[in-house]
Structure 1
């Protein structure tokens, strides 16, 4: 089975998080922003999940990149109401599954427990084979939010504002046909 780049990054981030998180685990910090689409509990859950998927390492994490706020804005203003409710239903499921398995809300679990649940959801989303899955949709929003943020695009990814050398006045016989877009 081939793995795509996004799945590899997610798996790597979960592995790195699980390995180092047990040392630094603490209650999640209070939100530094005010949610507009989510309740405070849902926003904290999105904040924790985003940081588990894109943790701070030698590059900025999801919190620093503003991913939870971007997801909140997307749910409020960009998604169709049915899609927004689908995402919120997925958040409710995460919390319900955490309570059923461990007797605590998702954000109150140890990072290893959180990672185990997210890994299960990721496997379910992969097995859905193109069918909508709430965690897959949430992860897609987070990925878009992270890599289109300034830190994600300029620190995590290689950034070259002007790729390649500029060579003006190149003879057409050197280029061949012109490009069309």
Structure 2
């Protein structure tokens, strides 16, 4: 026979499961749909890259990785720049992130809440650091992903001109300046 305590406990579990489902659906709804077509990544992998890049370099008072086009940069890098082993390492890692998210939380990586996503990324970062310390020649997908996000962001126009102080090199050209205006000539060692 069901007593009041068991009934309330079951109702609490049902409501809790519903709230968790709502939180997951809300997290998935905050991920904008891809506005581009991936060529080297599957659409699921591209969505993972989109979310991870934005978690690594979020929008603040400067544009985030998504606004800077980092996911598209990574897709192009895998298609045109990376060798087959590098590209496969990253693709396998992205698939692993989805599989780990499903195993730990029952849903795809992009559908998890932000704290759950950050917890998974933190575990990959610790794992990558351990691998790098034990076997420096062994590549880890998360280090490769972080590198591509960083390079993609800081070589983008928003990353180079808004997030960083833009100083065009070699600067302005002033030809035929009298030595009296410059002072002494100089050299470096």
Measure, in 1, the Cα distance between the counterparts of 2:103 and 2:149: 26
User: Which residue in 2 is equivalent to 1:7?
Assistant: none
- What is the TM-score with the length of structure 1 in the denominator? 0.78
Residue pairs, 1:12-31, within 5 angstroms: 25=27, 27=29, 28-31=31-34
1:58 aligns with 2:88: no
Measure, in 2, the Cα distance between the counterparts of 1:178 and 1:157: 27
Measure, in 2, the Cα distance between the counterparts of 1:26 and 1:40: 15
- What is the TM-score with the length of structure 2 in the denominator? 0.74
Measure, in 2, the Cα distance between the counterparts of 1:120 and 1:169: 61
User: Which residue in 2 is equivalent to 1:153?
Assistant: 160
Among 122, 125, 141, the alignment partner of 2:125 is 122
Residue pairs, 1:30-109, within 5 angstroms: 30-109=33-112
Q: What do you get for the CA RMSD once the two structures are aligned?
A: 2.4
Question: Which consecutive unaligned segments of at least 5 residues does structure 2 have?
Answer: 1-25
Once the two structures are TM-superposed, the CA of residue 176 in structure 1 deviates from its matched residue by: 3.8
- Number of residue pairs matched? 156
Q: Which SS does the other structure have where 1:174 is aligned?
A: coil
Q: Which SS does the other structure have where 2:67 is aligned?
A: helix
Question: Which consecutive unaligned segments of at least 5 residues does structure 1 have?
Answer: 1-23
User: Which residue in 1 is equivalent to 2:145?
Assistant: 138
Structure whose alpha-carbon radius of gyration is higher: 2
Contact 2:28–2:112 (8 Å) recurs in 1: no
Once the two structures are TM-superposed, the CA of residue 134 in structure 1 deviates from its matched residue by: 0.3
User: Which residue in 2 is equivalent to 1:20?
Assistant: none
Once the two structures are TM-superposed, the CA of residue 117 in structure 1 deviates from its matched residue by: 0.5
